[in-house]
Amino acid sequence: MAERLRVRDLMSRDLHTLGRNDEIAVADELMKMERIRHLPVIDEDGALAGVVSQRDLFRTALARVLGYGTSGQDRLMHMLLVKDVMSTPVETIGPDAPLSEAATRMIDQQVGCLVVVEGERILGLLTEGDFVRHVAARS
């Protein structure tokens, strides 16, 4: 049964995206509100441009540790744009790829998500959490 499962069977379809020129404060707030860890970034033409992860935002938050303080960190979060912290290139996969292929690519590339695309269209996101939920549901 597991070998027949495809990316489309586990991927998250309810997708939030960011623009390249959004402030990282927007990404931080959206991740907190929606309890998500990855956000695809689209360019001005709607094409996939990058991914912002909680890890990317964590690096920015290190500024606080380096002595900026809370108000300094808030200013920094409003000064920096998504394009300044997003990860590129983006690891993508098709919706009909086997889950085993997706898992192997995530491990090999050391990424927490794959953006699911068909041609130029973003269909969803496959995350480590999707795999964990699947295993938990089968237990």
Q: What pLDDT digit, counting tens, does each position of 6-64 carry?
A: 999 999 999 999 999 999 889 989 999 999 999 999 999 999 999 999 888 776 665 55
Q: Tell me which residue range forms the domain holding 120.
A: 2-138
Q: Under DSSP, is residue 19 helix (H, G, I), strand (E, B) or coil?
A: strand
Q: What is the mean pLDDT of the chain?
A: 87
- On the CB side of 22, how many CA atoms lie within 13 Å of its CA? 23
Strand 113-118, strand 121-127: pairing: antiparallel
**pLDDT of the residue at 39:** 96
The CATH number covering residue 60 comes to: 3.10.580.10
Find the helix or strand (DSSP H, E) in which 105 lies: helix 99-109
Q: Which phi and psi angles does 82 have, rounded to 5°? A: -55, -40
The pTM assigned to this predicted structure is 0.84
| CA–CA separation, 94 and 121 (whole Å) | 10
User: What total of structural domains would you count in the chain?
Assistant: 1
Four-residue CA torsion sign, 70, 72, 78, 82: negative
